Structure 1
Amino acid sequence: MTGAPASAAGGSGATPAHRGGKLGAAAVNQAGLWNIANILTMVRLLLVPGFVMLLLHDGGYDPVWRSFAWAAFAVAMITDVFDGHLARTYNLVTDFGKIADPIADKAIMGAALICLSSLGDLPWWITGVILFRELGITLMRFWVIRHSVIPASRGGKVKTLAQGIAVGMYVLALTGPLATLRFWVMMAAVVLTVVTGLDYVRQAVVLRRRGLAAERAAAMEAVAMAADVEGATGGQCATDEVHGAAEGVVEPVVEPAAESLGEQLGEPVGERVAGGRGTTEAER
């Protein structure tokens, strides 16, 4: 679309030049739940039971069926790369994707590890270490999600790649030097799994502390603002009360004093004041 001439686009060429860029991204973003990133995630979820049936077919030792299982596993790993890239590039991040994507990742990897260990191809302790780390980090993400999101580190991406390669080599019926090589690839994946897991724990603790500190600071600021508002309102009320009290005290004191003075002079003060006013007006 971006390389089409202006005449073919039906205009001057200025607007169509952006159809492959921002307008294309906006069109994809308007798809909502049914966007390409979420569809790839759902495909990966649907591949999990198919992968398990292919791997365990005929007792799990048929090289042909295990090759089919490897193909399904490879497709799942590839969709994991592409759905995240598309979601970030075209702003297709949805609540469904945030929940379904990590579930799909853990489901395909967990199914492969458990099946391989049940077949006796992979030691159970390796499966336990990897699954414990993956489930623990997932729970930790939910633990700090109210404060912040733990970003995927470069080490975590390398770990995922190493796990995918190692598990894929175990899914295939390899023998000889390749079987020895896959063991060392798996050992490297286990080391990366543990190291990156500890790093995620550190990040989670730091992010949670920062989040709690920010919440406490916000709460203290809100209390201080409320106190200022209450103090200003209370000061105005106190001023009104003082004025009212002053008026209430002056009036009862002035009136009896005026009456007493009038009696001493022999005439009411009111009449003397009225006479004074009349004289003044006559003089004018």
Structure 2
Amino acid sequence: MTISMTNPTPTSTTSTPMTTAIRALAAGVVSLALALAPIGAHAAPAGGDEDELAEDPSAQALDEARQLFDAGVTRYSAAEYGEAVSFWLEAYDLIPPSYENRQIKAELIYNVARAQQKWFEIDKDVQHLRQSREILRRYLGEVDELYGDQAVIEREKIDEQIAEIDEQIAAWEAEQARREAELAERMRPKFDEEADAREARRNKAMIGAGAGLTALGFGGVGLLVTGIVLAGGAQARVGELPLEADILAREAAISRGETGNALMITGSLVAGVFLAAGLPLLAVGGAAEKKRKARRAELSGIGVGVFRGGLGVSLGGRF
């Protein structure tokens, strides 16, 4: 037996529990009360009986879809939008994919899209808006076939809703970008200019002192070399003089040798003391200054970013 799936006319006064529930819905949700009215609301085919009508698989599917729709309406009215979406999608799958049911299925999808928008208002998950927009776009592709001469009006309404969703998504993304920038700024390693300046002065003092002491140490090395040259020259001079040579010349050579010896001793002491103190100061001060400059460059090139899925560190600089 064939059951008529044609929807009642808009002027039908059939009253169903779904009709009452729909009146409680927020504005914007399509009423499917008449389209999914109980099977008894449809005219029975001639010569048929209600038992045969109830046993029809399509009729049973529509009746179950109506019950699921009613459950979704109840959840929607209680602001339980996630469950409303689940019920309506389940009802959508139960409705036979016939030409007569195309508008019912499309309007169910429309209701799902509206529920997704309401869901976003509660948990601020932008994925609900994106899903709603995608659903409305698919729904828009069927408007011409579903509404015929009324398609222009319906298309304008859907376009306005999609534009509204686009604005909501853009506002959400702008707010997320602002929050991420604030979080990145708070988490950015702080550079202490005063501490850096103090460290720079300390390193400069160590390097300066080390350089001065090292210079004195090299001066001692110079004295040592000069003493070696004088002593060596005096020794050679004395060795060249014959025993009967002028006593004054011999004494002058010996005096130069003694001066050279004194310079060697003094130079050795000066070089040993000042180089031992100056070179470590130079090394420590230079290493500390190098680390300070590297740390300053590193902190100026590090940024903390918030990426999809968590925090991250971005590095900047020349390599």
TM category, shorter:
0.3 to 0.5
Q: Name the one with the larger helix percent.
A: 1
TM-score (norm 2): 0.33
TM-score (norm 1): 0.36
Q: Which has the higher contact order (CA 8 A, sep 6+)?
A: 1
| Rg comparison, structure with higher value | 2
